[in-house]
Structure 1
């Protein structure tokens, strides 16, 4: 498989290091055979050891808008417990296929699972704003549960119940946060708890990335470890069908789905929404728009995003592309689509990859959601 372009790398994100980029640019990422990508990916991410006992406890239960929910909690071996919600169609006690729904990044770390799922409480104003912009005003995981799935949605390292407390953040990032907070106060802005927290969390992501690298891991490595644990939690729950679970998410959640799918044998289908491009297309002003969780150091030595997403072909894969997405170029999306089709053709499974193109900004809106649900019903019925 050939690289998208043999032209020298150039772009806004490479100003001043164009020559270096050509010297260190890996040989075509796609030259790696699919069966080599998971091992290479695990190595470059520095995925921490998974062999920790996970004891799941159950808490509050509720029924809301046609969905039964139960609060689950477990510890991943460090830090605060992971909070999660398991959602099912109300009153349905049958064995159902499972789905792990992954929340986005969206520069909102105060909340995790609440961004994409309705639980027992009220929806926070900040979450309502995010959903209106990114999810068509839907709690799409509840929609997935109502379609006949057992859906687990959990907080992951850095978000919600797993977020860092401000008093643990380093002085350098806190100096920047205090300047931002002082500017907001001078403007007369009244920041709530969650908005103030995001000002602290933004510079802390860079600081944490350095520390994780020093420890031999990465944002993506720590996050995918927690997602792999959650996959196994869901697959082992009573009332969840054997044969693996679906993993899906939008933006940062889509990156998480791609990484987890590549590294897990316990996945049956994958949905990646508004998170797909070749790397060459990202260096023209897109790299610094994205989280460390998506662009981990050395990830290019394992493969580009379409190579990672297709690493387990012929596993069914749905990718949603938003043509007005300002975080990815259309050229990069179309190049990724071409590479995914090549990967699935090489696996003898062209029909197992579905591309959905919508005229929308960076989002997983109702049109894309409905397309995914229809595709997913057909996939589950065929398995």
Structure 2
């Protein structure tokens, strides 16, 4: 719907299509286990998380030594969540569990699919786009009443993840990995047809520029352009509801962590998470909110707040810019707040989204604030999660999530026991 169409329409389109029930859910707040986590949850306005979520297995496939299950669950608001659970075929003992948290990437038409190798990846590995056929529940946009998005996650993997499906590769290395769509992405995206008024104005301008250049946007590109403009509206709504974009994303991530802990074959005492870019910020927030996270990795998402001013403010989304967050300390203080036993932060020195000094200042802050738990590594890379960086992250998590040493309790010696 264009602005001209809206002028002739008798009703104003919803700015929260698919999430009209969000205001009711936002009234109820997540209760954290510690004072530190409670302060963070209150600042972000994290909605209450439904305990013991039931999930449905929609499909299952096996390839490259990995079993991948497509899961779905319904949260307290918005559309149902799609997720993919990947684990090594033939595993018999309980495995360490990881949440693989997808990045922002400026792409909201799909979410966790970018991290998982699925059957259609093989079908379309040499194609730029899907064939445009009927929507499938295994594809982004496959939900009833949604347009087929048509863009596979292979391009973003090649650009940002060294061509790897991160969750699948981690499963090949012995982890049980859950990758889920979070609030605003993939199955959890907003309905933007018709476009809300303010979003329509922004999209009209972009489409006019593209038409002049002779470029026709795909359905996924049209959605992503609309979703980029719509994120401002979502942040505005979150403020009205006493929550935030990051707080509502954290709600979805906490729910997924609960599902991961309940999945068969997962050792609930050995849980971790990792993420690149916006996914790295999600990993740090999740680690600060939940004591279930024993270890996590943050990639290309660490700096100080001061370093973002004035030139780097527009390089980041609302996942980083949460109202009131600075009252709790600096960005690296979120890691200090966590109870995680070991934390790895990977810095990319050629990252154009963060100034080098901000990264180095954050590194010093973390060395001082959590010296026994923190490891930092510096890479001469741009804003990417290379295969070598992924290998380092996997090795770090494998070491950090070893089974705890069993403590042996001996019966007291009667000769040394007071009568």
Do the aligned residues in 2 keep the contact of 1:313 with 1:343 (CA within 8 Å)?
no
Q: Structure 1 pair 364/187, CA: closer, same or farther in 2 (3 Å)?
A: same
Name the counterpart of 1:360.
Answer: 381
Name the counterpart of 1:237.
Answer: 263
Work out the CA distance in 1 between the residues paired with 2:91 and 2:336. 34
Q: 5+ residue gaps in structure 1?
A: 1-34
CA apart distance, 1:79: 1.3
CA apart distance, 1:359: 0.6
Q: TM-score, normalised by structure 1?
A: 0.86
Work out the CA distance in 1 between the residues paired with 2:378 and 2:403. 24
Name the counterpart of 1:251.
Answer: 277
Name the counterpart of 1:371.
Answer: 392
Q: 5+ residue gaps in structure 2?
A: 1-33, 130-150, 405-419
In the alignment of these two chains, the number of paired residues is 344
Work out the CA distance in 1 between the residues paired with 2:42 and 2:328. 9
Moved more, 184-193 or 65-74: 184-193
Alignment of 1:11-22 (within 5 A): none
Q: 1:218 aligns with which of 229, 236, 244?
A: 244
Give the 3-state SS of the residue equivalent to 1:189 in structure 2. coil
Q: Deviations over 1:6-58 (max 9, x none)?
A: xxxxxxxxxxxxxxxxxxxxxxxxxxxxx754222111111111245622111
Do the aligned residues in 2 keep the contact of 1:278 with 1:336 (CA within 8 Å)?
yes
Work out the CA distance in 1 between the residues paired with 2:230 and 2:118. 28
Q: Deviations over 1:321-380 (max 9, x none)?
A: 0000011111011111111111113xxxx2x32112111001111121111122222222
Give the 3-state SS of the residue equivalent to 2:269 in structure 1. coil
Larger radius of gyration: 2
Work out the CA distance in 2 between the residues paired with 1:110 and 1:231. 23
Work out the CA distance in 2 between the residues paired with 1:66 and 1:356. 30
Moved more, 232-241 or 38-47: 38-47
Q: TM-score, normalised by structure 2?
A: 0.79
Moved more, 309-318 or 71-80: 309-318
Work out the CA distance in 1 between the residues paired with 2:73 and 2:117. 20
Give the 3-state SS of the residue equivalent to 1:175 in structure 2. helix
Alignment of 1:124-273 (within 5 A): 127-167=153-193, 169-273=195-299
Give the 3-state SS of the residue equivalent to 1:249 in structure 2. strand
Name the counterpart of 1:60.
Answer: 59
The answer to which structure has the higher helix fraction is 1
| RMSD (Å), alpha carbons | 1.6
